[in-house]
């Protein structure tokens, strides 16, 4: 609660929550129970990023826990269109994420139905990694597709975001920046949050 309040009171409106199962990625974090325990203490948008196999099993749990966005990995889904529909039926916003090695064009059939597209600019699993510059091409492609087709999804980027890479990401078209280490590792959290909000 204290960690959340530290960013919320200085203007952060989203909280990105990384859910890892030690199977889809080589790390283990937390599940819906932690989100449920945090929900009463924050009015922020809860952006749940599920780096897990069989994400369809967790839709109802995360809805009950209070997640606003449910973002699954394209690489973990058997039928993206079915999963997107189920997320929306549950009353959450539907997001899809792609790993660095996945072509962004693979998402073309689903873009019209998505609320969020998350581009991973590092290999998912651990914080503090170096930003992969080629992810900016994917962001730019998503921006162009959004403008040409009048799609409604938000473009989010996650991994290696800092004061320098954030500028490039925003210029490419990113609308939501996930800055974990850059905020919580900063000596002045308020100043760090203010920097990203003002880009």
Active site (annotated) includes residue 61: no
Q: How far is CA 113 from the centre of its chain?
A: 17
Tokens at residue 50, please? 């599920």
Is the pLDDT at 22 greater than 70? The verdict is: no
pTM of the entire structure? 0.93
CB 32 within 8 Å of CB 62: yes
The string of pLDDT tens digits covering residues 48-67 is 999 887 999 999 999 999 99
User: From the candidates 18, 21, 47, 115, which is the catalytic residue?
Assistant: 18
Active site (annotated) includes residue 158: yes
Strand partners, 47: 16, 69
Is the pLDDT at 190 greater than 70? The verdict is: yes
Q: How many residues does the chain have?
A: 199
Phi first, then psi, for residue 178 (nearest 5°) are -95, 110
Strand partners, 177: 157
CB atoms within 10 A of CB 34: 13
Which residues touch 43 (CB under 8 Å, ≥6 apart)?
8
User: From the candidates 47, 68, 115, 158, which is the catalytic residue?
Assistant: 158
Is the pLDDT at 26 greater than 60? The verdict is: no
The alpha carbon dihedral of 116, 135, 29, 96 has a sign of positive
């Amino acid at each position: 609660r204290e960690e959340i309040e530290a960013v919320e009171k200085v203007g952060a409106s989203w909280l990105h929550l990384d859910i890892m199962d030690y199977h889809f990625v080589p790390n283990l974090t937390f599940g819906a129970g932690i989100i449920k325990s945090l929900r009463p203490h924050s009015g922020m948008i809860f952006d749940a990023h599920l780096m897990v196999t069989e994400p369809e099993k967790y839709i109802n749990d995360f809805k009950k826990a209070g997640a606003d966005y449910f973002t699954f990995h394209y690489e973990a889904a058997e039928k993206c269109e079915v999963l997107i529909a189920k997320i929306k039926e549950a009353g959450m916003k539907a997001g899809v994420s792609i790993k660095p090695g996945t072509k962004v064009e693979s998402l073309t059939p689903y873009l019209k139905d998505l609320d969020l597209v998350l581009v991973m600019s590092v290999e998912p699993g651990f914080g503090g990694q170096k930003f992969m510059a080629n992810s900016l091409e994917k962001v730019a492609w998503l921006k162009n597709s959004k403008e040409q087709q009048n799609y409604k999804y938000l473009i989010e980027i996650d991994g290696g975001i800092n004061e320098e890479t954030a500028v490039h990401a925003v210029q490419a078209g990113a609308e939501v920046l996930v800055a974990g280490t850059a905020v919580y590792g900063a000596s002045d959290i308020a100043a760090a949050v203010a920097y990203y909000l003002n880009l």
